[in-house]
Amino acid sequence: MSQLTVLEHSSLSSFEPNTFDNSVMNTYGRFPIAIEKGEGCRLWDTEGKEYLDFVAGIATCTLGHAHPALIETVTQQIKKLHHVSNLYYIPEQGQLAQWLVEHSCADKVFFCNSGAEANEAAIKLVRKYAHTVLDFLEQPVILTAKSSFHGRTLATVTATGQPKYQKDFEPLVDGFAYVPYNDIRAIENAIADIDEGNRRVAAIMLEPLQGEGGVRPGELEYFLRLRKICDENNILLVFDEVQVGVGRSGKLWGYENLGVEPDIFTSAKGLAGGIPIGAMLCKDFCAVFEPGNHASTFGGNPFACAAALSVLQTIERDNILQNVQARGEQLRVRLRAIANQDPHLFTEVRGWGLINGMELQSEIELTSVEIVKAAMQAGLLLAPAGPKVLRFVPPLIVSEAEIDEATAILEQVIAGLN
């Protein structure tokens, strides 16, 4: 038997969580199942149990699992060329950048491998712009929002406005300050407070919709005012589109829901449908990086770029944004009906396209993780977004029947909790 045959026929049914925990570092609170294979919006664990996947690798598997277009692209690409250094021109990287520039407000793209890394690139770009263009500002400050999430590296965990992620990792990185989300007065006050000598606000970095922080959409009025304030005060507006971008909101980019354009934005999670990639995009006027300023060994390699291009072209060709809008509307209607049956349990359902949250009453003991566990047992995978919000981020190809099925399961699970 060839090695490949052995692999195809072997099953993980002998999977042992204890052996796993003996050697894998203890950084995640894991649910006690191991996923073995997937197709479309379905996953199967090592016991053969089937799940409807409304997590999608946390808003990452844009085209679901084992999508024919992605399989074909990555198979062809790995046979041809999978990695080469940025010492040379990489045609697939150029094609992907061109697609992104043609389909967004950005003029230039830098490629990396994750959301945190894309945000790091944005933070470095802001600082270089401040030092070299903005009156040679020596102490640029980046304002971010409370309840935000920007990643786990030191600079991005500092940017993340949630102390629980920062605890025990001090000293944090200098040059960040925090304001409540969707609060324009707080922004105005912070800009005034921080203006002192060579220290002032150089950028405001926000998610168009806060994902991890509880699926909180940005408010139109707030973002319109914010854009004006940035223009009037020479402040860069940076959007973290890592979770909400690439069609998830029903538009290609989250900012399209807010009627404003950022100067810089970042993308990652769904960009290559689950193949690791990140991107930092910006307008020409602030594209101040020069050779030697920033780099990534894997960034923009042919394999990841071909995968991303395939995902984006499939979104376009198959009218997937239309599906996201229709299925999102269907999902919110169903979830609101469920929430309205139990007003003592739920406060509200909110979201855009296929990133939606269902919030639990704060005074009850029930947490989102408890519902996630019960739903998992009933065959539906959901993710919490903080202790009180259930997050629904299925693949963007989810069908009408699958939304019906998922919400029927959830309804039963909640009836079982009462």
- Provide the minimum distance between the beta carbon of 264 and ligand PLP in the complex, in angstroms, as a whole number: 14
Residue 147 annotated as lining a ligand binding site: no
149 contributes a contact to ligand PLP by CB under 6 A: yes
212 contributes a contact to ligand PLP by CB under 6 A: yes
Residue 277, judged by CB atoms within 10 A of its CB (0-12, 13-18, 19+), counts as buried
Say how far apart CA 257 and CA 212 lie, in whole Å: 19
240/263 with CB nearer ligand PLP: 240
Q: Which of 104, 162, 243, 249 binds ligand PLP (CB under 6 A)?
A: 243
Report the site for ligand PLP in 85-144 (rule: CB under 6 A): 114-116, 119
Residue 196, token pair as written in the block: 């002192």
123/191 with CB nearer ligand PLP: 123
64/208 with CB nearer ligand PLP: 208
Q: Is the dihedral of CA 205, 277, 331, 367 positive or negative?
A: negative
Q: Which of 240, 263, 359, 402 binds ligand PLP (CB under 6 A)?
A: 240
150/334 with CB nearer ligand PLP: 150
Residue 227, token pair as written in the block: 């854009």
299 contributes a contact to ligand PLP by CB under 6 A: no
- Which of 77-85, 204-212, 256-264, 363-371 is the region at the interface with ligand PLP (rule: CB under 6 A)? 204-212
Residue 183 annotated as lining a ligand binding site: no
- Provide the minimum distance between the beta carbon of 123 and ligand PLP in the complex, in angstroms, as a whole number: 12
For the chain, how many helices (H) and strands (E)? 14, 17
Task: Please list, in sequence order, all residues whose beta carbon lies within 8 angstroms of the beta carbon of residue 59, skipping any fewer than 6 positions away.
Answer: 211, 243, 248, 269, 270, 355, 393
100/277 with CB nearer ligand PLP: 277
151 contributes a contact to ligand PLP by CB under 6 A: yes
Residue 86, token pair as written in the block: 């940025």
Residue 368 annotated as lining a ligand binding site: no
- Provide the minimum distance between the beta carbon of 139 and ligand PLP in the complex, in angstroms, as a whole number: 25
- Which of 192-200, 237-245, 312-320, 378-386 is the region at the interface with ligand PLP (rule: CB under 6 A)? 237-245
Amino acid of residue 112: C
Task: Please list, in sequence order, all residues whose beta carbon lies within 8 angstroms of the beta carbon of residue 300, skipping any fewer than 6 positions away.
Answer: 86, 90, 93, 96, 111, 112
Q: Name the residue whose CB lies closest to ligand PLP.
A: 115
Say how far apart CA 311 and CA 70 lie, in whole Å: 7
Q: What is the DSSP string of 141-184?
A: EEEEEBT----SSHHHHHHSB-HHHHTT--S--SSEEEE-TT-H
172/378 with CB nearer ligand PLP: 172
268 contributes a contact to ligand PLP by CB under 6 A: yes
Please give the size of the binding site for ligand PLP, defined by CB under 6 A: 15
- Provide the minimum distance between the beta carbon of 241 and ligand PLP in the complex, in angstroms, as a whole number: 8
- Which of 69-77, 120-128, 206-214, 370-378 is the region at the interface with ligand PLP (rule: CB under 6 A)? 206-214
- Provide the minimum distance between the beta carbon of 256 and ligand PLP in the complex, in angstroms, as a whole number: 16
- Provide the minimum distance between the beta carbon of 296 and ligand PLP in the complex, in angstroms, as a whole number: 13
Find the distance separating the first CA and the last CA of the chain, reported in whole Å: 54
Tell me the β-bridge partners of 360.
Answer: 346
Angle between helices 220-232 and 184-193 (to 10 degrees): 20
Q: Which of 207, 263, 359, 402 binds ligand PLP (CB under 6 A)?
A: 207
126/345 with CB nearer ligand PLP: 126
Task: Please list, in sequence order, all residues whose beta carbon lies within 8 angstroms of the beta carbon of residue 317, skipping any fewer than 6 positions away.
Answer: none
Residue 360, token pair as written in the block: 């639990």
Residue 379 annotated as lining a ligand binding site: no
155 contributes a contact to ligand PLP by CB under 6 A: no
Q: Where are the beta strands (DSSP E) in 269-331?
A: 278-282
CA distances from 102 to 31, 97, 144, 171, 385 (A): 41, 9, 28, 41, 33
Say how far apart CA 215 and CA 206 lie, in whole Å: 13
Q: What are phi and psi of 30, to 5 degrees?
A: -95, 145
212/263 with CB nearer ligand PLP: 212
Residue 240 annotated as lining a ligand binding site: yes
Residue 274 annotated as lining a ligand binding site: no
Q: Note the residues at the interface with ligand PLP (CB under 6 A).
A: 114-116, 119, 149-151, 207, 211-212, 240, 242-243, 268-269
Bind-site residues for N(2)-acetyl-L-ornithine: 152, 296
Bind-site residues for pyridoxal 5'-phosphate: 115-116, 149, 240-243, 297
